[in-house]
Amino acid sequence: MILITGATGLTGSALVREFGRQGRTARALVRDPAKGRAERDAAGLTTVRADLLVPDTLAPALDGVETVVLISSADDRMVEAQGNLIDAAVGAGVRHIVKVSGLGADPDSPFRFGRYHAQVEQHLRAARVSATVLRPSQFMQVYYREVPTMLADGTFAQPLGDTRLAPVDVEDVARIAFAAATGPAPEGGETAVHPLTGPEALAMTEVCAILTEIVGRPIRYVDLAPEEKYRRLVASGIPPRFADDLDDLFRLRREGGPETRVDTAAFKRFGLRPTAFAQFAHRSAAVFRGETTPDLLWASGWLEPGAHSHSGG
C-alpha cells in the first residue's frame, strides 16, 4: 500500500490525479476528509483521517503501508509535521519514503523553507530508511498569481532583473513522484536525491512573449523594485512574514540560485519528458485569459474575499 500525505494541496492533488490516470490504488492521509473527496473518489483512492502534528493519529494511517509520499504545507511547523511522519513510518515498518522537497534545500539557505526542507532531509537520512528526495524548482503554476494584474494593465511585474528561471510543471512533479513511489526503492537504506526543473531557463521577457501569444494582447515585463513587490504582496493579502520569505526567495533568484539552472536528469532516469513552459501556458490558456480561476486559490495567489494565500513563489 502507498500512502500519500498532503493529498488536498497543489502537489498532492496532482499526485492523486496521476494515480487515477494510472489506475493505481493508494491511501490518502487528510485532516479534513470532506476536502477534495470527489477527486479522490474519482481516482479510486481511499481516505484516512489523520494529522501529521498529532503523532497518535498516524499509526492507523500507516497500517499495511510500504511506501509513503511525504508532502505537507509550507508553514511554521513543517519540520515538526514531516519529522513526526518519518518517525511513525519507520516505526510502522515502511520501506520507502518519497519526500517532495525543494530545489536549493540547504541548512544555510537564505530562504526559510529551503532551510526547513534541509532539516527534514537530514531527519530522513538519520532514520536510515530507503528514501527518494525530489527537489522541484519553482512551479509553473505560480505564474497564475500574476494574472489579475497582467489582465488589468498588461504588465508582468517581478523583482528579477534579467534572471532566467527554469520552472517545472507541478503535473510533472506528480508524474515523477508516482514513478518513484511505484518503482524500486533505493537499496540499503540509501537516499536518492533528484533535482527537478523544466527543460529551459527563461528570462521574464521570454515568459511574457509566450503569455502575449496565449492572451492575445501585449504582456510587458516590468522589472519591479523588491520593496514595491513586497508592498504589493502585503496589499494583496499575503501575510507580512510570508512576504518576507518571498523577498528572500526573489533575492536568491536574482543572485543566480539553483532555480536558474536546467536539470532534467530525473526525467531521463524515470523515462519521462518534461513539459516546456509554452506547453503549460497553452494548456492553461483559460486561466491566463481570465476565463476561469485555478482550482486551488491558495496555491495561485488569487484571493477570495477575506482569504490569504500561503503558497510558495
Q: In angstroms, rounded to a whole number, what is the distance separating the alpha carbons of residues 111 and 109? A: 5
| pLDDT tens per residue, range 17-68 | 999 999 999 999 998 888 888 888 888 899 999 999 999 999 999 999 999 9
252 domain residue, yes or no: yes
- Which residues, 6+ apart, have CB-to-CB distance to 78 below 8 Å? 72, 113, 116, 120
Q: Is 159 in the same domain as 281?
A: yes
Do both 68 and 43 map to the same domain?
yes
d(CA 152, CA 217): 11
Question: Looking at residue 293, what is its pLDDT?
Answer: 83
Same-domain pairing of 173 and 203: no
71 and 154 both lie in a single domain:
no
The DSSP string of 31-97 is: S-TTTTHHHHHHHT-EEEE--TT-GGGHHHHHTT-SEEEE----STTHHHHHHHHHHHHHHTT--EE
Q: Are 190 and 207 members of one domain?
A: no
Q: Which residues contact 291 (CB under 8 A, 6 or more apart)?
A: none
Is residue 307 situated within a structural domain? no
Residue type, position 52, single letter: L
Provide the whole-model pTM.
0.91
Q: What is the tens place of the pLDDT at every residue in 250-304?
A: 999 999 989 999 999 999 999 999 999 999 999 999 999 999 887 765 433 444 4
Domain count, the chain: 2
Give residues with Cβ within 8 angstroms of 302, minimum separation 6: 144, 145, 147, 148, 293, 294, 309
- pLDDT value at residue 178: 97
Q: Are residues 242 and 144 in the same domain?
A: yes
Domain membership of residue 190 (yes or no) is: yes
Is 162 a residue whose pLDDT tops 50? yes
Does a structural domain hold residue 155? Answer: yes
Same domain, 178 and 217: no
* C-alpha radius of gyration, the chain, whole number: 19
β partners of residue 193: 133
> 159 by DSSP, 3-state: which?
coil
pLDDT tens for residues 227-237? 999 998 888 78
Q: What is the pLDDT of residues 128-156, one digit of tens each?
A: 899 999 999 999 999 998 898 899 999 99
Residues 6+ apart with CB under 8 A from 268: none
Domain, as residue range, for 157: 140-166+198-260+275-300
Question: So what's the pLDDT on residue 296?
Answer: 61
Count the Cβ atoms, other than its own, within 10 Å of residue 304. Answer: 11
Which residue is it, cell 533568484? 253
Residues 46, 186, single domain; the answer is yes
121/134 Cα distance (integer angstroms): 10
